[in-house]
Chains A and B, each alone.
Chain A
């Protein structure tokens, strides 16, 4: 048999079911807001982490250039070069030694291009064809074989409806003679590339074709070092730093890996998640006011009943318990429905906003539902504390007279 005070609370909730449901709706909204916002933020973080961690074993080396002019202008530097020279590449190779499985010099620039009469803009990378498959996946077609062969990223391929064999004219349509490349392969989608080679909206040509068109042979804007063992990454970075950045006052190259980018991006996303969680918490605050109001109404309406309970020997703690049970029932009701709604709404929102629910059921993500439910119940109990205290501290004679 159940606790008689719990029975009294359940019957009171049932008696005023409409009011109780309305109060619980507030908790439902609060729980959904907290859970969904939390899950959305976490899924974003996990998605980004996954995309970046695919290049976690890559060190990106770029010239340590201080841009003095506006964006797009020629970079000027405080005494350092804005490219990595052949000599510096050799030093990188020596420093990395046997720890590196690949050392990939990458040429890159932003370019206009035309497919038929349709113009477009994107990055063009010049990479040794032998290095391409070491970090890029060709989803359709083959690797670059001939001098005019090119690969395209998945976004360009989709947007321009490119097929294998399609030809793209590189350069501005206003310029006279423009070189043409033939698409021999379409790359797999990479998303956010941690190695600074974002190929989704790019054209990849051979290093030879690139330097023929743009010049700057052996002057690389970037060199990527793929290490054999991820544990050796910091050792390799130190070795390169020691070898190239010999002047303590002025760095020649900037050395980065995915982990520093990852921590920076996840930290930003974490801040965003906290912010949107705070917005969700505001709805719980509104719900708390609603529960408080309902509990105060319940106490006010039942003053006479409280008087009866106290006059026949009910302890004040038992009266308090009865009203707290009522708050817990409203919390469990709101939290339970909120939890189920969070699952459905959260799945839909994550699917719609991130495009993938691969991480939805991961503990870091799904745990926001029980967390939201517990917060909802705690909010209910806290909201019910004062009304319960007020009920238990009534004078029995005054309460009986309130009829």
Chain B
């Protein structure tokens, strides 16, 4: 494990300005996450878990405090640089899979490669990653609406992995799956951790959180434990 953290949050707050008044979803959170960790981010609804995941996924920026990912301060980066960080450093696995409906399973996996290299994949990498989650070529031609929930989540994981990111962010990755399929997905994520990836898992299910080696619990926008 590297001495300097891969992710550092220093007194990070996130305040939403609502019609009913300001609402602080995160309150001065300080946290270090090191490369190769498998972390479960737990907390009930409204605890700030999703806001935290959005910060770590660089989908949002803190209202105050500093967030460093891979040594870079998010506040100092341009919008385009943050987009490239999302593309190259982070692989995001969503609860509802969020595959692109107009693309086939293969094209969904190929898509991040196209974003990065500005051309269609001719190296076979997309097909290889898709195969690693149990998809053959024929299955890869199916559109998302022709796949089961478990299959869609496998494609989503393959898409998250294809650019070889340092961080895999999973927001309730088993939330829309049956128990058996959920455990299969968790086995894949454990395998990624064993390969040295940093896996951050947002969940409210203690059984799923047990797969992680470190659990951070959020309550009312603060780290409770």
Pairwise interchain contact B80-A12, C-beta atoms closer than 8 A = no
Interface size class of A (residues with CB under 8 A): 20 to 34
How distant is the Cα of A2 from the Cα of B114 in the complex, in angstroms?
11
Selected contact of A311 from candidates B98, B101, B110, CB within 8 Å: B98
Chain A's closest residue to B98 (CB) is A308
Residue of A1, A7, A309, A311 most packed against chain B (CB within 10 A): A311
Q: Which residues of A contact B120 (CB under 8 A)?
A: 1-2, 4
Q: Are A318 and B102 in contact (CB under 8 A)?
A: no
User: Which of A2, A12, A310, A312 is close to B159, meaning CB atoms less than 8 Å apart?
Assistant: A312
Q: A403 contacts the other chain (Cβ, under 8 Å)?
A: yes
With A1-B120, A312-B111, A403-B96 already in contact, the answer to whether A15 and B86 are too (CB < 8 A) is no
Bound-complex Cα distance A400 to B112 (A): 18
| A305 located at the interface, meaning its Cβ lies under 8 Å from any Cβ of chain B in the complex | yes
Contacts of A1 in B (CB 8 A): 120, 122
Identify which of residues 1-44 in chain A touch chain B, using a CB-to-CB cut-off of 8 Å: 1-2, 4, 7-8, 11-12, 15
Interface size class of B (residues with CB under 8 A): 20 to 34
- Known pairs A397-B54, A397-B60, A400-B98; A312 contacts B103 (CB<8 A): no
Chain B proximity mask over A303-317: 1 for CB below 8 Å, otherwise 0: 001001111111110
Minimum CB–CB distance for A166 against chain B, Å: 78
Inter-subunit contact A312/B114 (CB<8 Å):
no
Task: Tell me whether B83 and A315 are in contact (CB under 8 A).
Answer: yes
Which residues from A are CB-within-8-Å of B103? 4, 7-8
Q: Are B115 and A313 in contact (CB under 8 A)?
A: yes
Q: How far is the CA of A313 from the CA of B100 in the complex (A)?
A: 13
- The verdict on A314 contacting B102 (CB below 8 Å), with A396-B59, A397-B60, A403-B96 known, is no
Closest to B91 in A: A312
Q: How far is the CB of A225 from chain B (nearest CB, A)?
A: 73
Tell me if B112 and A313 are in contact (CB < 8 A).
yes
Other-chain contact of B83, A2, A15, A305, A316 (Cβ < 8 Å): A316
Set A12, A310, A312, A400: member contacting B102, Cβ < 8 A: A12
Is the CB–CB distance between A313 and B86 below 8 Å? yes
B80→A315 contact, CB < 8 A? yes
Residues of A within 8 A of B107 (CB): 4, 7
Give Cα distance in the complex from A4 to B96, angstroms.
23
Given contacts A311-B59, A397-B54, contact A316 B79 (CB under 8 A): yes
In whole angstroms, what is the CA distance A198 to B115 when docked?
73
B72 within 8 Å of A by Cβ?
A: no
B88 on the A face (CB < 8 A): yes
Contact A312 B87 (CB under 8 A): yes
Given A4-B114, A4-B120, A305-B100, does the pair A313, B59 have CB atoms closer than 8 Å?
no
Q: How far is the CB of B55 from chain A (nearest CB, A)?
A: 11
Cβ distance B102 to chain A, nearest Cβ, rounded Å: 4
B interface majority secondary structure: helix
- Closest Cβ of chain A: how far from B123's Cβ, in Å? 13
CB closest chain-B residue, reference A317 = B80
Known contacts A305-B101, A397-B59; is-contact A313 B96 (Cβ 8 Å): no
Asked whether A8 lies within 8 Å of B102 as measured between CB atoms, the reply is: yes
Q: Assess whether B102 is in contact with A311, with CB atoms less than 8 Å apart.
A: no
B135 near A: Cβ within 8 Å? no
CB contacts (< 8 Å) of B59 on chain A: these are: 311, 396-397, 400
Question: Cα distance A403–B98 when bound, in Å?
Answer: 10
What's the least CB distance linking A395 to chain B, in Å? 8
Which residue in chain B gives the minimum CB-CB distance to A310?
Answer: B83
* B80 pairs with A4, CB closer than 8 A: no
Known contacts A1-B120, A396-B59, A397-B60: A313-B83 contact under CB 8 Å: yes
Are B60's CB and A312's CB within 8 A? no
For the complex formed, measure the closest distance between the CB of B96 and the CB atoms of chain A, giving whole angstroms.
7
Once bound together, how far apart are the Cα atoms of A372 and B100, in whole Å? 36
B150 within 8 A of A: no
A313 touches B87 (CB 8 A): yes
Docked CA distance A315–B112 (Å)? 11
A316 to B60, CA, bound (A): 15
Measured between beta carbons, the chain A residues less than 8 angstroms from B80 are 315-316
B84 at the interface (CB under 8 A from A): yes
* B173 contacts chain A at the CB level, 8 A cutoff: no
The 8 closest A-B pairs by CB, nearest first: A313-B87, A1-B120, A313-B86, A11-B102, A308-B98, A4-B114, A396-B59, A397-B59
- Report 24 cross-chain contacts, Cβ distance below 8 Å, ordered by A residue: A1-B120, A2-B120, A7-B107, A8-B103, A305-B100, A305-B101, A310-B83, A311-B86, A311-B92, A312-B86, A312-B111, A312-B112, A312-B115, A312-B159, A313-B83, A313-B87, A315-B80, A315-B83, A315-B115, A318-B115, A396-B59, A397-B54, A397-B59, A403-B96
Extra A-B contacts (6), CB below 8 Å, given A308-B99, A318-B115: A305-B100, A311-B57, A311-B92, A312-B115, A313-B84, A313-B86
